[in-house]
Amino acid sequence: MIALVRKRGKGHLLKHLGSEPNGPLFLFAMQLGSCFSLQGQGMTHAENERISTLNDILSMGRRWFVTDISVVIPTCDRPLLLERALASVMSQSRQAYEILVVDNGRTPLDMSQLPNSVHLLSLPPRVGVSRARNAGAENASGDYIAFLDDDDTWAPDYLETMAHAIESSSSPPDMLIGRIDQFVEGERQVLHSLEYLDHAISMIFTENHGFGGPNTVVRKVAFREVGGYDPALLTAEDRALAVDFLLHGKYLAAVPQAIVFRYAGREDHLDSHENNILGRRAFYEKYRSVMGPRERLIYHAKYMGRMARTNKQSSWLFRKSQRKVSWLVMRLAYCFPSSSPKKE
């Protein structure tokens, strides 16, 4: 069909639409029409009316008819949790285009434990969540990729809500961020919910307001362009990906209606305190050249505050001093205006 348009002109396609306004070729042209400018030279009055109708539809904004959202789930020696995560994917009101499980655990997954529709990709043990997600994305064939961690689940309409946000957008979002709800002792609480993304880069530098793996959907071509998740970051790789998207001028969309469920109170989290501290340091070193004075000071203040709360080996007096310095640095930070780094 595209070859026909290129060879014989854009108007030639409309000569074959027939008299039925909802015929298959007519509906196809409505979807394809946003890829080129429709012209009616040499057309009859009826055909020009059809062209005018198409252009009216296109003027309301380009729609993206996306049906291929791949799901990537990295897992590491947690088969029971993986089973729960897969159940939430299999029960979606809008089925995934494909499901890829990326295993980087010490004990290999048994294929018989997985549904027949699930593809298994095995990596060396403990290569890290960033490499696991990148490998899954590289092997995914969908235009969009939805990431889910093996210890989280999705609401039944998660993929449907994300797909609707893509299809109703006037331009294709490169990243979509959903909401994270957390269950604490059986009680559901809203943990992170982004309503808007104004001044997003500055916001991500100072605090993670909701950028995570399991509530992130990315356009595959954009994911490749920015290089995917950074394997050098032991933690904070989720918001680092969002920063990289923004620095590359990508379009991010908040979708608070798409809900992820996280479960607190477990003792099998993969991130250790040491990795968390090292990850925060690496995040700062990676982006400090594009941070403004305010963002750098706030980051240092929060880093010191976290160290004071979690470092139980230090004396009480030392931790109290750290908290005091953290408070003073935070007050100093707000003397500077918020800055927005330049996009590439």
Q: What is the CATH number of the domain that holds 166?
A: 3.90.550.10
Confidence of residue 313 (pLDDT cuts 50, 70, 90): low
Tally of domains within the chain:
3
Same-domain check for residues 329 and 197: no
Q: Which one of 19, 34, 59 terminates a domain?
A: 59
Whether the pLDDT of residue 9 is over 50: the answer is no
Whether the pLDDT of residue 10 is over 50: the answer is no
The boundaries of the domain holding residue 301 are: 288-333
Same-domain check for residues 90 and 176: yes
- b/e per residue 278-317 (b: at least 16 CB within 10 A): ebbebbbebbeeebbebbbbbbbbbbbbbbbeeeeeeeee
* Structural domain contains residue 271: no
Dump pLDDT digits (tens) for 238-287.
989 999 999 999 999 999 999 999 987 655 555 556 777 777 888 989 99
Same-domain check for residues 54 and 79: no
User: Looking at residue 42, what is its pLDDT?
Assistant: 59
* Structural domain contains residue 40: yes
The answer to whether residues 299 and 327 touch, using CB atoms and an 8 Å cutoff, is no
% of the chain at pLDDT higher than 90: 44
**Phi, psi (degrees; rounded to nearest 5) at 80:** -70, -40
Q: Which one of 19, 38, 59 terminates a domain?
A: 59
Dump pLDDT digits (tens) for 178-210.
999 998 877 888 877 777 665 567 778 877 778
* Structural domain contains residue 281: no
As a whole number of Å, the CA-based R_g of the chain is: 24
Same-domain check for residues 235 and 298: no
Same-domain check for residues 105 and 186: yes
CA distance 166 to 258: 12
Could you tell me whether strands 98-103 and 69-75 are parallel, antiparallel, or unpaired per DSSP bridges? parallel
- b/e per residue 207-244 (b: at least 16 CB within 10 A): eebbbbbbbbbbbbebbeebebbbeebbbbbbbbbbbb
* Structural domain contains residue 276: no
Same-domain check for residues 47 and 93: no
* Structural domain contains residue 29: yes
* Higher per-residue confidence, 84 vs 324: 84
Same-domain check for residues 104 and 242: yes
Same-domain check for residues 239 and 292: no
Q: Which of 2-11, 18-27, 297-306 has the lowest mean pLDDT?
A: 2-11
Same-domain check for residues 146 and 191: yes
Same-domain check for residues 90 and 172: yes
